[in-house]
Structure 1
């Protein structure tokens, strides 16, 4: 992997029409999201959906079960509780991602709203209009607001002891509210157990969702770090090779130059021989530096294909390589090998790929290298020079490069090199 990067921003500017079509496609906004962003969006809307579920599950049965004014009162309180839960969930997730402070005031507000709604519901059950429908509807609200309230609050709490205390506190609170308002002892105990199990499950779901979201972001950061380390390692390798060549020869040049100066001061003819040797070593150094740079810039296509398969497979990306690079001229293999190297780097760093295919097709008068990967959803910006560098290398062998989005969320890079021309160049 080299220091230059093929940026999707440049590719997309070069194929503006295709990008415009992609943006307007249904569901394109979802495909453009990275995996962590998708998980975060899914988590947020799941908790918002829970708020809708809360209203639908115990709010709709109120109609026809009790007088209209009482139905309206409970429905307003229930909707207010659900909206508060959704707001707390959203702010708690923002806090999890570090974009805002812990929403302590909202957590206390939700706790107070939960107690108010639960107390009103159990009071109606024990002292409101009689009837089995009334008891069932109000009792459902009592249990559901406690369970959903505890689950939303758990999103804004990190310590395990506090989570356990939250669950136990809501279960105990159910008894503290219900028993003094006239609920029989056995029924109060059964209610406490039901609330304990419900709040425990919902709180566990909330904690697990936060853990999963953080884990996905950490894995994505680790993948990007690994790609950056690979680039840094390649730079270090080049630096070591250059140091090995330059360090030794420059030391010899310095010694022989010093010796030539001393001989020249004494009028000795050997000074000319020493300077001739310095000239020879300098020329040899130039040649060795060119060899080092050529080795850094040239790449064996077969080795790069095998390396790409290994690296992508290790990253959890299904990589399929087809075609046989044997028999291609060295210049063609070097140019296409660099294309494979850069494409692999960008699949790891800038995409969200699950599958990648690399195909080498030898036609009558040219060779075509195609690299396709799905999940090309994240543009790294427009400051890279990888695309220009690849075109420069391919131009040396009269090759061309095409890169840009393809249908079905696929990013496609195609390099074509006329083999006959390349053989003439070599």
Structure 2
């Protein structure tokens, strides 16, 4: 089977993404919280007696603060140029603290917004100092008011500023991470697929190529032994069948992602191979057991070293020694019969270059030197840096486990950081509720009882938020218990308090679904409002109690749900990447099966026939061996071609990976191919065009459908999700597609692009 064969295919793949829903929820929660806290701030200053021009001025400043806060909470704010971020932060700081001149102590009600902005848009670690500096500014400004602030009021002002800032940072950053997961998922899947191709290419050369070389050598030896040493030739032909079977298993293992080999097995194989080649071999491997990846790498080094001896020398002697000296494993290989070679191992072809890459994975290095007719290869690796053997398609530096450079908010957040921030936000709101209770002036016993209830509420919420209760009945029981301790303090406090039912409101939104949860959420707000009315609270207090409860519930729900969605997004990203890699592996397995497994089966069958002919018709055996050798030479060429195609860009390979990437991004893909070019240069250009087009779809559109259509002499890629624009886009002005246009010019083609009815279309003509 030729690589890049004609494909006639039409299919659709659909995966509903979760990220758009998460981003919408994040924006809604952030906007509602900002408006809600702004409303509370406005109520506070009105209750404080602010009227007329002063109130209008405060309202103007508050509008600036809220507007800038929403801008700073957008996922792209961290990427703004530094001057822009500095100006917007300065404007928000001025709008926050300026009202202190005429509003009085109530000015600090909105200071949490600027504290959150410090964390959201400042890149350096100084953001935490500035975040604390905002709270310190509120403290100092309150003292300067000289209105006899009580210690509890000061503590509440500082605490609420820090809590609001941390909450806004959490909501803003978590939504940014979810957006970033969606934007970068295509790149991550592409990286995983490319890595899988390179793994197969490397293993084809290092593992399968060696076996084919050894098989060819043994058959050549058997051919040369005829007719003088027919008995020995028969022995060689029988023995080589074991190598053929091992090579067949090796091809299947390479395509399957496993294919581990051991040093002990390679030692025996090396002795047999060198003996068959009539090379005097001395192999001394000390009595040491290497485990995990190091044993496999050393086995590959031994195999590749023997291959080099056979291919690049006229060796009569070969010496191999492996020793462990302290914390270092050292493998030395030496052979005669060579000319002077370069010191750079990568300069001797992809074999030793592959070894250098493999050794780098275990912290090792490779050196070579020549001395007269002798060539020396030395490999060193730390003995203690051994990890358990892992699947070969999942090396330690897998792109699925880390973010690409410049990832923005994701560089700041990991699972532990996310959990810590959510824990601090929830604990902070529990402390806020407790301070609101203390503000009502209960007795010591009453305060302690209320504190016990608040702690119970917090524990229940943490169990729900972090998913520690696995069964539905346990989660319902926790929510019911939370509701009970929410209202229990009314028995001795006899009045509602700020953020009273916030935790149970958040739990209701988190645990229930559909209209019911919003109905119960609203009902809790009505209950708090009714209690406030029945206890004779003022209008401003009624509004504050109700709004604070609903806001706290929304924040608890938003932070909890966003954290869950981030976890799901990361999990889905890994699963989708694994699916894309598995799809790529199956494709390569089909190709390798047609290229190599079928060929090896023919070699085995014809080898058995040659053995029989030695006994029944010895004059026909040389002709059969010649046919086997010719088949093996073609197979070696096929291995090189397949490995080269996996290393280099091909349209067929890029089509398969693009299909998986678009599906991973939740985009429905329709592929309709009816014609392909046989020119390798044009094929590479089309592959580049496809890659750039898919990149543009992922980064610059909200596409839900993509059509890839090929006809004789053209390739068209269409996607929806773009805004109509006047005129034809200037493809040449775009970096990615502009490069493709120039490359098409070089092969006599051209590139066009246009937008029509919300669909962007790019077409390459050859």
Q: TM-score, normalised by structure 2?
A: 0.31
Q: TM-score, normalised by structure 1?
A: 0.50
